[in-house]
Amino acid sequence: MTVSVPPDVQETLRRALRAAGSNECGGILMAEHIGQDHFMVRQLTVQGGGRFASFVRGTRSAFRALSAYFRQSGHDYTRFNYLGEWHSHPSFSVQPSETDHRSMLDIVTNAKVGANFVVLLIFKLVDRETLEGSAHTYLPDGTISPSTLVLEDLT
C-alpha cells in the first residue's frame, strides 16, 4: 500500500503538530483511490486534547467530517472514502506502539465500520518544520504491514 500526502495536507499537519507541542494530536484520514493500492490523502480531521503519550479520537466529529467528505465527493465510495487514522508521536518514534496496533485492529475488525483495510499514519515534526512519518496497513485477518508514505513535493 502506498499513501501520498499532498503539500496542502502536509501544511495542515505541521500547524496541528506545532499547536499540540509535546502533546499528541490526531484525527481521521479521508482519501482518494488514485491507483492500484495507492491512495492520496485529500482531507483529514485535526483533534487536540491528547496528552504527552496518548490520544483518543472523538467519534462524533469524525462522523460529521466523513459525512461532509462523502457529500463533497458525490458519494463515490469506491474512489473517495475513509482511509484510516493519523496521530502524532512528538516525543517518540513514529513507529506504532502495541496500543496503536490494538486500536487499529479493533477498527478494521469492527463490522459496523465495514472496512476492508485501514491505514495508520504517525507523524512528528523535526525542527518545527520537517515532517517525519510512517504508514502501516491493517487487515481484518489481523495482518499488519508497513506501507509506503510519500510526502509529495510542491512541484
Question: At residue 133, does pLDDT exceed 80?
Answer: yes
Pick from 89, 14, 25: nearest CA to 55: 25
- Model-level pTM? 0.90
| Rg of the chain in Å (alpha carbons) | 14
For residues 47 and 58, is the Cβ–Cβ distance under 8 A? yes
Please tell me the CATH superfamily of domain 2-151, with its number. Answer: Cytidine Deaminase, domain 2 (3.40.140.10)
pLDDT, tens digit, for every residue of 33-62? 999 999 999 999 998 665 445 445 556 777
pLDDT, tens digit, for every residue of 96-114? 999 999 999 999 999 888 8
For residues 29 and 119, is the Cβ–Cβ distance under 8 A? yes
pLDDT given at position 52:
46
Instruction: Break the chain into its structural domains and give their ranges.
Output: 2-151
pLDDT, tens digit, for every residue of 65-93? 777 887 888 888 889 999 999 999 998 99
pLDDT given at position 48:
63
